[in-house]
Amino acid sequence: MSKSKKSQNFPERKCESEVDDIYAPQKRYLKSKKGKKAAIKARKAYDQRDPERRRRQKREYMKRKRAEKKAGLKEYY
């Protein structure tokens, strides 16, 4: 039986994949039903803990996004 290309072990790829594999269980958890529910609960708790700080963060984020969009449009025309 020959191995498929995906299952072959390449030593040069092993080092690169180890970094990504550190967070693999967390990524898998966040995709699960339980993980999604926990993320929503954490997001709500964070928003309610300090609403003024959260508003400031959202304002800065949207300001940055609008500037990026505007810069992108300038390059386009």
Question: What is the pTM assigned to this prediction?
Answer: 0.50
pLDDT at 8: 62
Q: What is the pLDDT of residues 26-69, one digit of tens each?
A: 999 999 999 999 999 999 999 899 999 999 999 999 999 999 98
5 or 34, higher pLDDT = 34
Domain range summary for the chain, segments of one domain joined by +: 19-76
CA-to-CA dists, residue 63 to 11, 19, 48, 67, angstroms: 45, 33, 22, 6
Q: What is the sign, positive or negative, of the torsion defined by CA atoms of 26, 31, 35, 38?
A: positive
